[in-house]
Structure 1
Amino acid sequence: MEFSPRAAELTTLLESRISNFYTNFQVDEIGRVVSVGDGNARVYGLNEIQAGEMVEFASGVKGIALNLENKNVGIVVFGSDTAIKEGDLVKRTGSIVDVPAGKAMLRRVVDALGVPIDGRGALSDHERRRVEVKAPGIIERKYVHEPMQTGLKAVDSLVPIGRGQRELIIGDRQTGKTAIAIDTILNQKQMNSRSTSESETLYCVYVAIGQKCLTVAQLVQILLEANAMEYSILVAATASDPAPLQFLAPYSGCALGEYFRDNGMHALIILPPLRILLLCNFWPRILDDLSKQSVAYRQMSLLLRRPLGREAFPGDVFYLHSRLLERAAKRLDQTGAGSLTALPVIETQAGDVSAYIPTNVIPITDGQICSKTELFYRRIRPAINVGLSVSRVGSAAQLKTMKQVCGSSKLELAQLRLLEVDNRVVVPAKSHLRIAGPPPPTNNRYHHSRQS
């Protein structure tokens, strides 16, 4: 049977209409809450979810998928879980956790998700950057050769830090570790005022974890009085925030610093999870250690029933810090020559650097600044133990004039310490006690620095 011309035209018309038929369907994968409690939830039905993907509960609370199991997904909740109930719907967002980034973030205080908490309104003119990104590869990096001046003579002369370096600050509590980091931010005011272009300015990102809201406000006040907030960003995950936000805060701060690094500028990120105790003269003494983030991560892992390792930390706690600190780098000239410098801070117990977290972080970093309790009590500030402190970049991160002046300073200071020990004469007394003579006066010209 042959088709008539009219039937052929109708067939062609139908075929063209069918081939051009298009409907934009939006399919959302929905799951249901199996159990909830202690800031985490188990959800059934999200079979295609990605690791680290954001989800949204029926109550509007958001979370992040950390455990991908055969039958359900372990999700940590960003906020209170009191409004989440068993059987509630959970929807995938299809996006990995990201935060706003850009120069609009300067002079602002934000939480771990990049939401302003300083009461100055919403952000404007910014881009979004993923919190978890891959660190620059070997080919994309350049050797560290530019000095990152801290303004502290003891650091710049004996343990120089370069732009793009990762220098660990480690020591016992109340030995002035984080004071070194805060003084570094304050001292950038004078150095940035002498810069002639944005490529010479150093922007600072300060991550505050586990401290009270009052102490965050006091820290902001200190930076405002010194006009240091003009080039600074403060990321705060306070003590009232859940463990997932405290875990996420360092990565959010690193994403903010990477904006400057990838756009040919220089940034400094300080990673002390903080607890601030007030001392005199309105200057906070900060007791800090990078293990605060590890504790939050351990809490989440225990609730998600992950296998445990040494000191009850999960097995991937080394990767937790390595993937964070490896993002600090000096980029090639072809990619803008930007840099991101990291100053993580760790607290030791009785000078023991062989604990789990210190032994994890020391191999990742490019050197460490060790503070000593004895020097601190002798009012040598900053209380840097020159014998244990080292910078693996060394004189490559110093100006030529600084090399000439301070080339032999570390050796001379070590000889001075040795002579000081030898001059502690012990004389016999009538009793069984031995009386040690007073130590000779020490030369503190390398250790003089302002610290209240």
Structure 2
Amino acid sequence: MNRTPESLTAALDAAMATLDEAVAGGKARLTPEEIGHITYIGKGIALIDGLPGVRSEELLMLGDGVQGLVFNIDPEQVGVILLGDYGALGAGDLVRRSGEVLAVPVGEDLLGRVVDPLGRPRDSRGEPVCHERLPVERPAAEVMDRAPVTVPLATGIKVIDALIPIGRGQRELILGDRQTGKSAIAIDTIVNQRGKDVVCIYCAIGQRSSSIARVIEQLQRHGALDYTLVVVAEGDDPPGLQYIAPYAATSMGEFFMEQGRDVLVVYDDLTQHARAYRELSLLLRRPPGREAFPGDIFYLHSRLLERSTHLRPERGGGSLTALPIIETEAQNLSAYIPTNLISITDGQIYLSPQLFQKGLLPPVEVGKSVSRVGGKTQLPAYRAVASDLKLSYAQFEELEIFSRFGTRLDDETRRTLERGRKVRGILKQPQLSPLSPAEQVMVLYAVTQGLFDAVPEPELSQAEAAVVAALGILPDIVRTIEQGETLKPEALEALLAAARKAVSPLLGPEKVADDH
């Protein structure tokens, strides 16, 4: 069909009008963008020229997508800590601002996962599905938003729950020399939260891959990985990732705390964290102070641990409990980092290498350990059976040292020493063998009442198992203990009778006759 010239002209005019309309509505909008370039690359850091409007702790994109965090802002250059593989970066590469602070993904899908401090998966299960992100650095809860610590956080370890109790929302430091079982206590605590509706986060900072793999295997074998998130910054990772790891783990935990849930975060360990921060600071020419740490190292850890708290009911009533771990050198508690963290936290659990070498595990030195908050949260049953146990145990240790001088001892002193040795033997506990509060109360009451005095030390563990098994016939007392009610005298008598009956087969006829 042939068109007339008039129809072709009309069609052309309509097409031109449509084109003009499209061009008018699609004009390009020019937006200014600050671009700098790298002038120096070091171990985990970069120096940037340009970016006049950059802000402190802003996230930058370097080269082909390596993330960096603004650390120093000097008149001539910007110091950046690198958060990824920077092997392909070089001087002259472009740097762009993001206009945002560093944030990490948060959500339920992180539970049971192993991720790095940026939320990227370290397991083989693909990217976690998270619909929300929180900044890595967040202000701690206001004082008026906090509530007293009132609920115990049971570790399942007798010597801690009875003598150095921890409450939900507390910050309890674990410290000791290398290879004294610091991580073992934290892992036991995580395992003991099974069935207690506590979200656990294990943050590994600067650890070897083999150590992290062993921890993950233990959690998986005991069914604890289902409610645990593992945040990993290995020793081979850039120091920038090790620096942000505990803050990222805390933000991931705060997501659950603000929903009204209880959270436990283990920082293993903050000694490596402080060393990573010292390395970055010295590379960026910050002035060194005591032990070459920069002067703000105290603020580094205080702003982290201040985020642990118990929120008021109006804020959801959730809690975040922190178990920071640090390593001492030659039992020196007065070193810079240990003294800093002792002053920040609400108590400490000190692990003695001497006790470790003697096989007294966990090697908790009661005299140097303290809980400034947890005693208020302790179940009443503990106070009924172990109220003076810490003092008497400390006195026993002093008396034992005195007795080594060969002094002749009277019968009462010898009995005190024998009782103390049995208490110390009962406080020994294998790793990954947590006890419930009722089981602990039963065993501690039996030992303080002298039921184990005549039991040979090699048979103490057998006697303890027999006493624990005797709880099966006392369900009402078990319920009373776990509900936080005070034990009445008749309940204590029933506990003692059941424990005596359980121990008697191990004593022999003459010992049983003496007891009666």
Shorter-normalised TM range: 0.7 to 0.9
Matched residue SS, 2:47? strand
Say whether the 8 Å CA contact 2:174–2:350 is kept in structure 1.
yes
CA distance change for structure 1 residues 21 and 270 in 2, over 3 Å: closer, same or farther? same
Whole-Å Cα distance in 2 between the matches of residues 329 and 427 of structure 1? 50
Range moving further from structure 2, 74-83 or 307-316: 74-83
* 1:401 alignment partner in structure 2: 381
Normalised TM-score (structure 2): 0.74
State how many pairs are aligned. 398
Whole-Å Cα distance in 2 between the matches of residues 402 and 89 of structure 1? 63
> How do 1:43-442 and structure 2 match up within 5 A?
43-189=48-194, 191-192=195-196, 201-273=197-269, 290-426=270-406, 441-442=421-422
Structure with more helix by fraction: 2
5+ residue gaps, structure 2, are: 1-24, 409-416, 433-516
Say whether the 8 Å CA contact 2:105–2:130 is kept in structure 1.
no
CA distance change for structure 1 residues 214 and 378 in 2, over 3 Å: closer, same or farther? closer
Deviation per CA, 1:168-198: give whole Å up to 9, x if none: 0111222211111011111112x42xxxxxx
* 1:10 alignment partner in structure 2: none
Following superposition, the deviation at residue 375 of structure 1 comes to 1.6
Matched residue SS, 1:443? helix
Deviation per CA, 1:60-87: give whole Å up to 9, x if none: 2111110011121101112233322222
Name the amino acid aligned to 1:70: P
Say whether the 8 Å CA contact 1:154–1:446 is kept in structure 2.
no
CA distance change for structure 1 residues 330 and 445 in 2, over 3 Å: closer, same or farther? farther
Following superposition, the deviation at residue 383 of structure 1 comes to 1.0
Following superposition, the deviation at residue 122 of structure 1 comes to 1.2
Structure with more strand by fraction: 1
Following superposition, the deviation at residue 370 of structure 1 comes to 0.9
Whole-Å Cα distance in 1 between the matches of residues 124 and 286 of structure 2? 39
Following superposition, the deviation at residue 427 of structure 1 comes to 7.0
Structure with bigger RCO (C-alpha 8 Å, 6+ apart): 1
Whole-Å Cα distance in 2 between the matches of residues 442 and 300 of structure 1? 50
* 1:448 alignment partner in structure 2: 428
Name the amino acid aligned to 1:138: V
CA distance change for structure 1 residues 263 and 424 in 2, over 3 Å: closer, same or farther? same
CA distance change for structure 1 residues 111 and 154 in 2, over 3 Å: closer, same or farther? same
Q: Cα RMSD (Å) of the superposition?
A: 2.0
> How do 1:13-52 and structure 2 match up within 5 A?
25-52=30-57
Q: What percentage of residue pairs aligned between the two structures are identical?
A: 45
Matched residue SS, 1:363? helix
CA distance change for structure 1 residues 22 and 338 in 2, over 3 Å: closer, same or farther? farther
Matched residue SS, 1:123? coil
Deviation per CA, 1:225-250: give whole Å up to 9, x if none: 11100100000011221110111111
Range moving further from structure 2, 349-358 or 441-450: 441-450
Whole-Å Cα distance in 1 between the matches of residues 175 and 211 of structure 2? 22
* 2:494 alignment partner in structure 1: none
Matched residue SS, 1:346? strand
Whole-Å Cα distance in 1 between the matches of residues 214 and 354 of structure 2? 29
Name the amino acid aligned to 1:88: D
Matched residue SS, 2:398? helix
5+ residue gaps, structure 1, are: 1-19, 193-200, 274-289, 429-438
Say whether the 8 Å CA contact 1:103–1:126 is kept in structure 2.
no
Say whether the 8 Å CA contact 2:57–2:69 is kept in structure 1.
yes
Matched residue SS, 1:420? helix
Say whether the 8 Å CA contact 1:171–1:177 is kept in structure 2.
yes
Say whether the 8 Å CA contact 2:170–2:374 is kept in structure 1.
no
Say whether the 8 Å CA contact 2:266–2:324 is kept in structure 1.
yes
Following superposition, the deviation at residue 267 of structure 1 comes to 0.4
Larger radius of gyration: 2
Matched residue SS, 1:293? helix
Say whether the 8 Å CA contact 1:67–1:304 is kept in structure 2.
yes
Following superposition, the deviation at residue 107 of structure 1 comes to 0.4
Deviation per CA, 1:41-60: give whole Å up to 9, x if none: 11121111111111001222
Following superposition, the deviation at residue 390 of structure 1 comes to 0.5
Whole-Å Cα distance in 2 between the matches of residues 379 and 53 of structure 1? 50
Name the amino acid aligned to 2:394: A
